[in-house]
Amino acid sequence: MKASDINKYSPFQPVSLKDRKWPDRKLEHAPIWCSVDLRDGNQALPVPMNIDQKVRLFKKLVAIGFKEIEVGFPSASNTEFNFLRKLVEEDLIPDDVTVQVLVQAREPLIRRTFEALDGVKHAIVHLYNSTSKLQRRITFGNATKDEIKAIAVNGATLIKSLLDEVPDTNITLQYSPESFSDTEEDYAVEVCEAVMDVWQPTPEHKMILNLPSTVEWNMPNTYADQIEWFCRTIKNRESILVSLHTHNDRGTGIAATELGLLAGADRVEGTLFGNGERTGNLDLATLALNMNSHGIETGLDFSDIDAVRKIYEENTGMKVHERHPYAGELVFTAFSGSHQDAIKKGMDLREDEDTQWAVPYLTIDPVDIGRSYEAIIRINSQSGKGGVAYILKREFDYDLPKKMHPEVGLYINGLADQYGRELTFKEIMDEFQKEFVNRKDVIDLKKFEITKMTETKVLGEISLTYKGEKMELEARGNGPINSVVYALKQQGWKDFNVEQFRSHSIGHSSASLSVSYVQISLNSDPAMRFWGCGVHTSIRRSGVNALISAYNRAQVAKGKTG
């Protein structure tokens, strides 16, 4: 935005609330949840859902655990009306689920809405009209406050008179002063109390006052101040449920809801993954999982977030972004080397799954929402030594010595940089084996057989080819690796010292493999070190293979450097 354009905007005025209490509170329990995917979410779609799609999404919302679901605006179109009738006539609404219907404060729309409710067991009738100064001036042509209040009162009066037409339906009444966050606080209370005077809620039969941030004009702390001021000021607070309905124009819809709950609200309305007009509504999945990550039970089941995302995408035609909190394809994935190293260390230390979750860069355990560990670390040119080692360990059981990580990581990351893309797990393993495992470039070890072995002495026979020439050598030393070093020395090939050795097994059956790792340093330049890996059914042979691999890598490197 150009500096010359700034003057057309003005800051939002704060609420006068000197002794606000919400900043010192903490969330300890979940709110009442209401999904508005089938109405608010649906009206924001380029191609609205058809009835079958809405039914599939409704069933998923029920399965997740939503007990209040806004099913639409029955008076808006035949599709909306017929959808609710299908739910009723095919007995698709569980007895413990309340369906919510939205209606403007207009007589024909209200009457049509009540026709749609015939046979519903539990319903919320949600009445609304716009109350903000901006809406009064522009949408309603400079209507007065009394005229706008009269619209709400007249609608509420008609709804009350129609309750007897659905005697078998348990109805909860809800009113929204639309654009609440842009309405003068005292006027919002005045209109809400006028509706309360008509509906006469009691502590035993509460009504809902829904306070929308229809357009997110202000910062989330200001919205929280508005909610706390409202909760303090409204009469008969014990007879109402204060509900929040935030949008995301400033990108802080979730924050505004969380602070609004601290400020005293009881209930929230939102959509899966935040689908809604403009930048969207409150993201119910993110808010619920935020609470889960702080140890708060929500009553909502997002233990298979990918399945929820699949149903959502198939029926709305929308896509969940790769970086969307919790549900995105890449949100548990680290490409950065430093992140990968910290995650690997955290995962390695998690020996007891019953302990409190504490892994760097992962706010929750991906497994808890149905994600695997496969995608936690992925490798490209930005990745580090720990990431490659993590994948080799997690996916293929190769537990590299820590001092081997930099050499392997540098090699694999160099390939990713060369290819200009991410490497698959299979590619990482294939390249690791080609470069480090059972190398045969210079020395091709055909046979290593121990003929005599005591606690302090090993004698053996070696068959190999050296630069293509077949040879038979004697092995002699205080262990298998040392005996092979002796044989190489006798041929004048030993220009190195063995620095590190480690081994482990892969698998637990009789067919398990032994994996060994050996590091050597060159006599001519001790700073030049090379790791090799050996794999064999015999632990002795795997160690020898690792030595030969390290030696071959060193010889190839020497040849390339002169």
Domain-wise residue ranges, the chain: 29-316, 337-436, 443-560
In angstroms, what CA-CA distances link 377 with 164, 196, 333, 364, 444? 61, 55, 5, 15, 35
Q: How far apart are CA 112 and CA 86, in angstroms?
A: 16
> Bridge partners of 128?
104, 176
What tokens does 231 get? Answer: 């909760």
Instruction: Name the binding residues for Mg(2+).
Output: 40, 245, 247, 281
The predicted structure's pLDDT at residue 105 = 95
Average pLDDT, consecutive stretches of 10 residues, N- to C-terminus, the chain (562 residues):
87 88 97 97 94 97 98 94 97 98 96 96 97 93 95 98 96 97 96 98 98 94 97 98 97 97 98 95 98 97 96 96 93 78 81 80 91 70 72 90 92 88 90 96 94 86 94 93 94 94 84 93 92 95 96 89 52
What is the fold of 29-316? TIM Barrel (3.20.20)
Q: How far apart are CA 515 and CA 509, in angstroms?
A: 15
Q: How far apart are CA 172 and CA 428, in angstroms?
A: 59
The predicted structure's pLDDT at residue 548 = 97
The predicted structure's pLDDT at residue 532 = 97
> Bridge partners of 330?
none
Give the pLDDT confidence of 449-495 residue by residue, as tens digits. 999 888 788 899 999 999 999 999 999 999 999 999 999 999 999 99
Give the pLDDT confidence of 498-549 residue by residue, as tens digits. 999 999 999 766 678 999 999 999 998 988 999 999 999 999 999 999 999 9
Token pair 């160099």: residue:
414
Tell me if the domain spanning 443-560 has CATH number 3.30.160.270: yes
* Dihedral over alpha carbons 510, 511, 517, 523 (to 10 degrees): 100
- Does residue 553 contact residue 453 with C-beta atoms inside 8 Å? no
Q: How far apart are CA 243 and CA 241, in angstroms?
A: 6
What tokens does 499 get? Answer: 């620095």
Instruction: Name the binding residues.
Output: 40, 245, 247, 281
Q: At what angle do helices 145-162 and 107-116 cross, to 10 degrees?
A: 30
Q: What is the DSSP letter of 37?
A: I
Q: How far apart are CA 152 and CA 105, in angstroms?
A: 6
Average pLDDT, the chain: 93
The predicted structure's pLDDT at residue 352 = 67
The predicted structure's pLDDT at residue 431 = 95
Residue 82 one-letter amino acid: N
pTM, full prediction: 0.80
